[in-house]
Amino acid sequence: YCTVWCKRTITKRSYSVKLSMLSHLVKQPLRCVRPSSYVRHISHKHDFDQYCFEAVKTHNYEGFLAGLLLPAQFRGAYYAIHAFNVEIATIKDQVPRNSAQAGKIRFQFWKDVFHQIYFEKKLSLSNNQPVAQALNYYIPKHDLTLRWFERALEVRFQDMMTPADFSTMDDLEDYAEYSQSSLLYLTLESMGVKDENTEFIASHLGVCKGILTLLRGHPVHQTQGLCYFPREVMKRHALSSRVALKGPTTEAEASQLKDVVNDLASQAHAHLSKARELSLKGLPPGAHYALIPSVGLSLYLDKLHQDDFALVEDSNTHFHNLKLQARIMQFLFTKKL
d(CA 307, CA 305): 5
Q: Which residues contact 186 (CB under 8 A, 6 or more apart)?
A: 81, 144, 145, 148, 149
Which residue has better confidence, 40 or 335?
335
114-138 pLDDT, tens digit each: 999 999 988 988 789 999 999 999 9
* Segment 251-262 mean pLDDT: 97
pLDDT at 35 over 60: no
CB 66 within 8 A of CB 293: yes
pLDDT band at 223 (very low <50, low <70, confident <90, very high): very high
Q: Which residues contact 300 (CB under 8 A, 6 or more apart)?
A: 212, 215, 216
d(CA 77, CA 187): 8
Domain boundaries, the chain: 44-162, 164-314
Phi, psi of 98 (to 5 degrees): -95, 15
Which residue has better confidence, 138 or 21?
138
62-75 pLDDT, tens digit each: 999 999 999 999 99
pLDDT of res. 99: 79
pLDDT of res. 314: 66
pLDDT at 320 over 80: no
Q: What is the pTM of this model?
A: 0.86
Q: Which fold has domain 164-314?
A: Farnesyl Diphosphate Synthase (1.10.600)
d(CA 163, CA 228): 8
